[in-house]
Structure 1
Amino acid sequence: MNPIAFEIGPISVHWYGLLIGLGAFLGYLIANREAKKRGMPDDLLADLLMWALPAAIIGARLYYVIFRWEQFAGDPVRVFFIWEGGLAIHGGLIAAVLTGYIFCRIKNVSFWKMADITAPSILLGQAVGRWGNFVNQEVYGGEVSRQFLESLFLPTFIIDQMYINGSYYHPTFLYESLWSLAGVALLLYLRRVNLRRGELFLTYVIYYSIGRFFIEGIRTDYLLLFGTFRTAMVLSAVLIAGSIALIIYWRKAGYTKRYLDD
C-alpha cells in the first residue's frame, strides 16, 4: 500500500497521520458526549484535546527517539519525520496524562473524573491509530507462513501487506487493535457499573498493559531498556502492579466517590 493517501501540490498527506487524527477525532466525539452528561462545561474537552494531542505526539516521538537514538544520530533532522513512523504509545500516554493533570488543575476540574471520562476514547484512538502502523508496514511480529495468516481468516489485503522483504509476519498491529477495541466495549460497560472515581481509568491502564505485555513478546521492532529488557514489557508490568495497588489502597482508605457522582 502507498503510505501517501493523497497530495496537495507539494504537500504529501500520509495515511499514518490521517489515521492518528481519525482516532483522536472519534475519541473526542465519544468523550465530549460523556463529559456533557457528567456536567462538564461545553468545549472543555476541545480545549484539553488542543493541548493533549500535540503533547502526546511530541511525547511519543521523544520516547521513541531516546530508545532508538542510534537510528537518528547520523541524520538528526529525521527526528522530525514522524510520517515515517516511530511513535511510541507509552511516551504519548505519559505526555498526555501529564498534560491532562496540569490542565485539570488550571481549570479546577477533577483529574480522575476527566481520566475516567476519556479512558474509552484513549483506547479507541489507539485501536484506530495502529492501522497507521499497518500502512507503514511496521509493528509486526515474528516470521510466519502465508498459510498461518490465512488460517486466521484475515482479508487478503492484510495478508498481502504483511509480506515484507520476502517473508510474512505476525500482524501484531492487528492483535493490539482488536484487543483495544474489545477494551473499549469493556470500559463502556463498566461505566454502568459505577466504579469508584479513577478506577475506570486504572482499569484501562491494567487492561491495555496486559495485552501489550504479551503482544510485545512477539514483536520484532521492540525498544530495549539497558540493552536487555523490552521496555514496553517492563513498563506494562509496572503499570499493572501500580494500578492494582492504587485501587486496593483507595478501597482500604474508604474512598467512596463514584463515577456517576456529580
Structure 2
Amino acid sequence: MKNDLFSIGPFTVHGYGLMIAIGVLSAYYMVEYRAKKKQMDWEKVFPLTVWSVLGGFLGSKILYLLTRLPDILANPVLLGSSIKDGFVVYGGIIGGILTAWIYCKCTKWNFWKIFDIAMPAVAMAQGFGRIGCLLAGCCYGIELDPANPIGIVFHNSAYAPNDVALLPTQIISSVLDFANCFVLLALSKKLKTDGQVASCYLIFYSIGRFVLEYFRGDLIRGNVGEFSTSQFISLFICLIGLVLLFGLPVLAKKKGACAQSEE
C-alpha cells in the first residue's frame, strides 16, 4: 500500500489523512441532508460536526495513551511517539458521542433525534477511515500462509510487518462499516422511537469489532484479561445498545401515558 500519495512542494498528501477527511465531509453532508428532510434545525449540523470531530480525536488519543500506559510508565520516552502516532476508534466514538451530547444540551437540540440521524453517517465515515488504515498499513491482520489468496503483503509500511502475507482486516472492517451504514438507513424507516437506530449502530459495530479483534495482528493495543481492550469495551457498548434499543420505547410509552393523564 502507499500512504504518501503525492507531494506538492513541501506539502505531502497522506492516504490516511485524505480518507479521514473524505469520511468526515461525507458524514457531514449526509447528516445535513437528512436533517433538512426531517425539517430539523440543520444549521446546527456544521458546528456539531466540528465539535464532535474534535471530541472524537481527543477521545481516541486519550484511550490510545491509556492502552500504552504501562509501557509509557516503564519508558517515559515513549510518550512523545505515542502522542504523535496512534488512535483507538472506540475512544473516538465515545468522545464524539459525549461531545455531541454536551453540544445538544447547550443548544437545546433533541439529542436522540440527531443521534439517530448521525450514526449511519458515522458508520460511513468509518468505512472511509479503514481504507486509510489500509493505505497506511495500520490495524493489520494476522499472518497468513503465503499461498492464501486473500492475503495482502506490505512492502514499505511503517506499521505492518513487511513482505509477509496478512489478513486484510482493514478491508473487512471497511466493508462491515459501509454495510452497517446501509442497514441503519433501512432501519431508520422502520424504527419509530428516537434513539433506536443509534442503538443498533452500537450493537452491530460492537459485535463486528469483537469478532474481528480475534484476527487482528497488531497486539500493541493492550489487553484486559483474556480480551483485547477493544473487545472488553465492545461488551459494554453492546450491552448499552441493547438496553437502549428495548428500553427507549418503554420510556417513550411511559412519557406518552403521563402526558395523556395530565391532559
TM range (shorter): 0.7 to 0.9
**Which of 233, 236, 245 is 1:238 aligned to?**
236
* Distance in 1 (alpha carbons) for counterparts of 2:178 and 2:253: 30
Q: Is the contact between residue 119 and residue 204 of structure 1 (CA under 8 Å) also seen in structure 2?
A: yes
Residue 63 of structure 1 and its aligned partner are, at CA, apart by: 1.1
Residue 93 of structure 1 and its aligned partner are, at CA, apart by: 0.6
Q: Is the contact between residue 153 and residue 162 of structure 2 (CA under 8 Å) also seen in structure 1?
A: no
Q: Is the contact between residue 222 and residue 228 of structure 2 (CA under 8 Å) also seen in structure 1?
A: yes
**Which of 66, 72, 79 is 1:76 aligned to?**
79
Residue 135 of structure 1 and its aligned partner are, at CA, apart by: 1.3
Residue 145 of structure 1 and its aligned partner are, at CA, apart by: 2.2
Structure 1 match to 2:222: 224
Q: Is the contact between residue 116 and residue 199 of structure 1 (CA under 8 Å) also seen in structure 2?
A: yes
Q: Deviations over 1:85-137 (max 9, x none)?
A: x2111000111011100110111111110100001000001111011111121
TM, length-normalised to structure 2: 0.86
For 1:4-43, what aligned pairs fall within 5 Å after superposition?
A: 4-43=4-43
**Which of 179, 187, 199 is 2:196 aligned to?**
199
Q: Is the contact between residue 196 and residue 255 of structure 1 (CA under 8 Å) also seen in structure 2?
A: no
Structure 1 match to 2:3: 3
| 2:230 maps to amino acid | A
Structure 2 match to 1:56: 56
* Distance in 2 (alpha carbons) for counterparts of 1:166 and 1:240: 37
* Distance in 1 (alpha carbons) for counterparts of 2:43 and 2:250: 36
Residue aligned with 1:251, SS: helix
Structure 1 match to 2:259: none
Q: Is the contact between residue 32 and residue 45 of structure 1 (CA under 8 Å) also seen in structure 2?
A: yes
Cα distance change of structure 1 residues 107 and 146 upon mapping to structure 2, 3 Å threshold: same
**Which of 160, 163, 166 is 2:163 aligned to?**
166
Residue aligned with 2:41, SS: coil
Residue 55 of structure 1 and its aligned partner are, at CA, apart by: 1.8
Residues matched between the structures, number: 247
Cα distance change of structure 1 residues 235 and 189 upon mapping to structure 2, 3 Å threshold: same
Q: Is the contact between residue 195 and residue 248 of structure 2 (CA under 8 Å) also seen in structure 1?
A: no
Q: Is the contact between residue 206 and residue 239 of structure 1 (CA under 8 Å) also seen in structure 2?
A: yes
Structure 2: unaligned runs, 5 residues or longer: 256-263
* Distance in 2 (alpha carbons) for counterparts of 1:132 and 1:116: 26
Residue 80 of structure 1 and its aligned partner are, at CA, apart by: 4.0
* Distance in 1 (alpha carbons) for counterparts of 2:189 and 2:82: 43
* Distance in 2 (alpha carbons) for counterparts of 1:159 and 1:225: 26
* Distance in 2 (alpha carbons) for counterparts of 1:227 and 1:73: 24
Q: Does 1:89 align with 2:89?
A: yes
Residue aligned with 1:202, SS: helix
Residue 4 of structure 1 and its aligned partner are, at CA, apart by: 1.5
Cα distance change of structure 1 residues 255 and 20 upon mapping to structure 2, 3 Å threshold: farther
| 1:195 maps to amino acid | K
| 1:187 maps to amino acid | L
* Distance in 2 (alpha carbons) for counterparts of 1:137 and 1:28: 26
Cα distance change of structure 1 residues 73 and 5 upon mapping to structure 2, 3 Å threshold: farther
User: Between the two proteins, what is the percent identity of the paired residues?
Assistant: 28
Cα distance change of structure 1 residues 243 and 194 upon mapping to structure 2, 3 Å threshold: closer
Cα distance change of structure 1 residues 9 and 229 upon mapping to structure 2, 3 Å threshold: same
The RMSD of aligned alpha carbons is 2.2
Q: Is the contact between residue 139 and residue 172 of structure 1 (CA under 8 Å) also seen in structure 2?
A: yes
TM, length-normalised to structure 1: 0.86
Farther-moved stretch of structure 1 (2-11 vs 120-129): 2-11
Cα distance change of structure 1 residues 161 and 43 upon mapping to structure 2, 3 Å threshold: farther
Q: Is the contact between residue 196 and residue 256 of structure 1 (CA under 8 Å) also seen in structure 2?
A: no
